[in-house]
Chains A and B, each alone.
Chain A
Amino acid sequence: MNSAPEEFENLRKLLKLKRYEQPPPGYFDRLSDRIATRLEQEPESARIARHAANWGWLDALRRVFTENPISAGIFAACGVLMVVVSNSQYLDKYIAGGLAPSLAAAPGAAVSHDLADNNMHHGLALAPQPVAADVMVSSVNPVFMNAPDSLLSSLNAQTVSYNH
């Protein structure tokens, strides 16, 4: 398949002519600017999608917020609004006094009974205490507050002091 160099010598000379076909002067100075301009004019949605594809959604979100602080503010305001709305529902229930009984009868209670039964087979007594209706349940006053030492006592655990 290799041809002798002289076989296509005249053709090679003629093909050199193509190298002299040049675009108008200054064309290449403008070309890169045009490309940069077109990339900058890329629609915002396409740019976000591309960033997301290149860097993942979290980084795309960070970039959007960095480039556009207004959208960051709107996003934050929406977040605050959602927190307020969700908390206001709990507040309403709490004020109506129906929160504690509803929680006591909630599926979580059944789970804790199952857990206690399961643990009994391993010699662990995690007997949940019934919650009195008048006991306020909250994140700082958990349901199992009335059975504090049952786990430690069954394991014969002792508290150790590190103060010498």
Chain B
Amino acid sequence: MIDPASGKSSADSKPAGRETPSPEVPEVAEKDLVEGARRGDMASYDALVRRYQERIYATVYHMTSNHEDANDLTQESFIKAFQALKSFKGGSSFYTWIYRIAVNKTINFLKQRKNHASMSLNDLDFNAEHDPDLVALISDNTPRRDLGLSELAEKLNGAMQKLSEHHRLVVTLHDVQGLSHEDIAKIMDCNVGTVRSRLFYARQQLQAYLSDYLK
């Protein structure tokens, strides 16, 4: 499980408090698992699923703000990846490859459901109440003080859903999941400059949408 406890000031390239486990996994082990899965060994593929399921689920969930949709899309992404293992040449890591599959599936899904989006948010972990950053946020003398953390999370998700899919994705991968610009560029198949500009624009947008709660 991701431990979001710490978190210091954010440098732009790699956010401090990068709680997400590093995507760098022992290459040999991953290669072995991928090779085993390609031969039809379900145990190898199960190990790959267990290794990446939380990060894939989290990405899809933060993109959709809907647990049921995230559940379906995560399963479908792993199933599609298994069926398409032949096309995985090993040029990138399996991690990047499965991320791309999940991201493409999610963006296609979001485009289809554009007019009937609905949120189904997960509960907040009880540790949120002890996070110093969040405690500081709600203890300040601002309108957000009147809100509980759950309501604040709802406002935040609402604002995220107003962003375009690509801007939401950059914020999700960088500011929520803690991936580097370089990893995001690989996943989104674009250059690092594009990632940076999208991130800047998305933050500006979010800041505007949430201005009442960020003063």
Q: Which residues of A contact B (CB under 8 A)?
A: 1-3, 5-6, 8-24, 28, 31-32, 34-36, 38-40, 50-51, 53-54, 63
Contact = CB atoms under 8 A, between A and B. Distances in A.
Given A11-B214, A13-B133, A15-B175, A20 B196 contact: no
B200 A39 contact: no
Interface residues of B, number: 63
B163 to A, nearest CB: 12
Given A9-B10, A14-B213, 17 more contacts: A6-B9, A8-B10, A13-B136, A14-B152, A16-B133, A17-B153, A20-B124, A20-B128, A20-B149, A21-B122, A32-B49, A32-B53, A38-B79, A39-B45, A40-B42, A51-B40, A54-B86
Given A32-B46, A39-B82, A17 B57 contact: no
Interface string B115-139: 0000001111101100101101100
B122 A12 contact: no
Interface in B62-113: 62, 67, 71, 74-75, 78-79, 82-83, 85-86
A2 B192 CA distance: 12
B131 A16 contact: yes
B185 interface: no
A64 to B, nearest CB: 12
B34 to A, nearest CB: 12
A22 B153 contact: no
Contacts, number: 136
B183 interface: no
Nearest to A50: B83
Contacts of B67: 23
A51 B38 CA distance: 9
Contacts of A20: 4, 124-125, 127-128, 131, 149, 153
